[in-house]
Chain A
Amino acid sequence: MSVGRARTLRRGLTAAAIALAIAGTGLLSYPFATDLWAARLQRGLVAGLSASEDYRLGKVKPGEALTRLEIPELDVDVVVVEGTSLAALRAGAGHYPSSPLPGKNGNVAIAGHRTTYGRPFNRLDELVRGDKVILTTPMGRHVYEVTGEAFVVEPTDWSPINEFPGKGSFLTLTTCHPEGSARYRIVVRARLVRTSDAVAVQEEPAA
């Protein structure tokens, strides 16, 4: 091999090694980067929760804070934004715009990330009947109780959002399944068991 050709090859290998290292590092750090991004968004969202007038009038815009969601069993404490677009869900969890507001009759539906953006619903499948899910809004604190084990549906199956068993107030939490894949969705159902008046919601969430 000539000296010139060997030099070219070495340069090529150096460039390839650098590019591969950058790409590999980027991929490895992607979940952590999204977590940092979500944490930054969450800090900004807490203040938005106090805008009770917008909430009462149903004028919360996509991407704005809607409710605080706590799941004590899973150590989840996150501010849920309005909307479930990719942009809105960068905050970690989003409220399905077609579903009612927390505490209202019907099926309140919330989607959350499982492996990125703070991973608020990472352990959603561990919830069991009787576990509490608390939604705190400017209008009140709503305690829901999980009604059964998590179940898996096709990503195009909207029945968990559109269907609910009879009258009352229900909560449906959805996230991707299995972990690290968007092939299916896993769903947890809960039923409203208690509502109390508005409380302070500005304290920064843990997540």
Chain B
Amino acid sequence: MKRRLAFVVAVFVLAGAALPAGAAAPTSASYALEGEARGLELGLGDQGLTLGVALSRADSKPSAQGVGAGQCSILGDNPDPEQLPCNEATAEKSSAPGEKSTEGQTCGGPQVPDPLGSVLTLDLACGSSVSSIANGVPQTSNVGKVSEVALELDLRGLIPQAEDAKEQLVDQLQQIIGGAPEPIKNALNQLLDAIDEGQGAQILLGPATSNIVATGNSLTVTSRAAGALIGVAGIPDLDDDGVPIPGSSVATEDGLIIIEVGRATASASLDRLSAASSSEATAALVTVKVRDITKVKPTYQTISLAPGQTTTILQGTPAESTITAAAASSKDTQGSAVAAADAVRLHLLKGVSGGLKLGLARTTAAASAEAKPLAERVQNPPKVLPQTGARDVTLVGVGLLILAGVALAVRRRLS
């Protein structure tokens, strides 16, 4: 009798195993991440613009929030994603739970008020933002970009000042390009005749991105500014008679000064279970090129800047420009990781209406986390939506009935 009872119990245990069972896994630590990338901050006189902005935020509530914008006005430190002063036609916002980005990418023509608008030509500006919560983990992906910026600076104002400072300019160029004074002076005279036909400044700007991505138990915020190529004082081609050809200048290819700003990255990661965090940052590398104006084909002398280093070229002349290469820093403490790559700062053509101020490739990323006590983690399995469907046990039931029939058939054969 005991054996029969044990057998029946075993059958019911096996059948019970076929029915749904709940699952348990540890929940995460409480955490928060935020990141920001700015492609270009541009100041001319009293006016300013920020082009290419990406912001990301996430925490363990869980919630995720992001903004991608092509054009904004000047942003302060730690801007509120809800109240960014951006051109809405170029911006996309998303948050989860909450507002979902529906169009994927929003692009529009930038709106720049005069007088900046009268000298600045911007390519289409775009922003995209997607935020989601999957399996209780927040993620967000944001991009802001303006691919091209052209500045029609009135370089005619440069000519009389340059005439006054011609000797100084010749000395400066001689130091950089190493040519003889007389050919430089001749070339400079030719350049000053042609310069008002050239392009004031052109900036080819890479996108700014800020993403929060989950991989296993790890969450990483990465902010990246893809760098830029800046050309200043474009020098037009000359026809056979030595007359400058209007519209033939592309400042990033033939400018008096060309500045290459590399990619800047800041990232911070945390482990959702252990709350361990880490960060790293890479500042943008800067290369300054000064054109050898004695040569018809664009030929450049290159100056490389170390992180944090400042250099001033064509000092004392109207074309004086100061470039400060960015420094990167990261700091990891218990439960907190912060990384930042400062902006590359440029003050170009100081002699032309106070000059053009640029800040490029500024990125920040921060993560903080606090582990929950182990006991709390074990006691709180991840929340699962109500279970409203049992495993289909019809086939199991039919199978058991067939087995019962087989057992009876074998029994009869033994009789």
Contacts and interface: CB of A to CB of B under 8 A. Distances in A.
Interface of A: 6, 9-10, 12-28, 30-31, 34, 84-86, 89, 94, 96, 111-116, 121, 153-159, 161-166, 174-177, 179-182, 185
Given A10-B411, A23-B12, A86 B389 contact: no
A111 B133 contact: no
A24 B396 CA distance: 7
Given A17-B411, A158-B136, A163-B97, A24 B400 contact: yes
Given A13-B411, A14-B411, A156-B136, A112 B388 contact: yes
A175 B389 contact: yes
Contacts of A34: 390
A163 B389 contact: no
A84 to B, nearest CB: 4
Contacts of A13: 407-408, 410-411, 414
A162 B389 CA distance: 22
Interface string B192-228: 0000000000000000000000000000000000000
A106 to B, nearest CB: 11
A22 B8 CA distance: 9
A157 B401 contact: no
A198 to B, nearest CB: 28
Contacts of A180: 389-392
Contacts of A159: 96-97, 132-134
Given A28-B397, A156-B383, A20 B100 contact: no
A107 B3 CA distance: 55
Contacts of B411: 10, 13-14, 17
A123 B82 CA distance: 41
A176 B400 contact: no
Given A26-B15, A155-B384, A113 B397 contact: no
Number of chain B interface residues as a range: 35 or more
A115 B390 contact: yes
Interface of B: 3-4, 7-8, 11-12, 15, 18, 20, 96-100, 132-136, 382-394, 396-401, 403-405, 407-408, 410-411, 414-415
Contacts of B390: 30-31, 34, 115-116, 180, 182
Contacts of B398: 24, 28
Contacts of A116: 389-390
Contact of B11 (A19, A96, A166, A185): A19
A182 B18 CA distance: 12
B28 to A, nearest CB: 12
Closest 7 CB pairs of A and B: A176-B389, A180-B392, A24-B400, A27-B397, A163-B97, A20-B404, A24-B401
Nearest to A115: B389
Contacts of B391: 180-182
Contacts of A154: 134-135
A158 B385 contact: yes
A174 B385 contact: yes
B412 to A, nearest CB: 9
Residue among B15, B133, B386, B408 with max Cβ neighbours from chain A (10 Å): B386
B394 A111 contact: no
Given A30-B393, A111-B388, 20 more contacts: A13-B407, A16-B404, A17-B405, A17-B408, A20-B11, A20-B403, A21-B404, A24-B397, A25-B397, A27-B393, A31-B394, A113-B389, A116-B390, A156-B136, A156-B383, A159-B97, A175-B388, A179-B389, A181-B391, A182-B20
Residue among A10, A12, A23 with max Cβ neighbours from chain B (10 Å): A23
Contacts of A111: 385-386, 388
A190 to B, nearest CB: 17
A162 B136 CA distance: 11
Contacts of B99: 166
B192 to A, nearest CB: 60
Contacts of A6: 414
B388 A113 contact: yes
Residue among B4, B15, B100, B385 with max Cβ neighbours from chain A (10 Å): B385
Residue among B3, B393, B398 with max Cβ neighbours from chain A (10 Å): B393
B26 to A, nearest CB: 13
17 contacts: A6-B414, A13-B410, A15-B8, A16-B403, A19-B11, A23-B400, A24-B403, A25-B401, A27-B393, A28-B393, A84-B386, A111-B388, A154-B135, A158-B136, A159-B134, A166-B99, A180-B391
Contacts of A27: 15, 18, 393-394, 396-397, 400
Contacts of A85: 386
A73 B160 CA distance: 83
B414 to A, nearest CB: 5
Contacts of B20: 182
Given A158-B133, A176-B388, A10 B415 contact: yes
Nearest to A161: B385
Nearest to A180: B392
A153 B393 CA distance: 24
A8 to B, nearest CB: 10
A20 B389 contact: no
B388 A114 contact: yes
Nearest to B134: A157
B96 A163 contact: yes
B328 to A, nearest CB: 36
A161 B136 CA distance: 12
Contacts of B389: 113-116, 175-177, 179-182
A86 B403 CA distance: 32
A164 B8 CA distance: 50
B10 to A, nearest CB: 8
Contacts of B401: 20-21, 24-25, 28
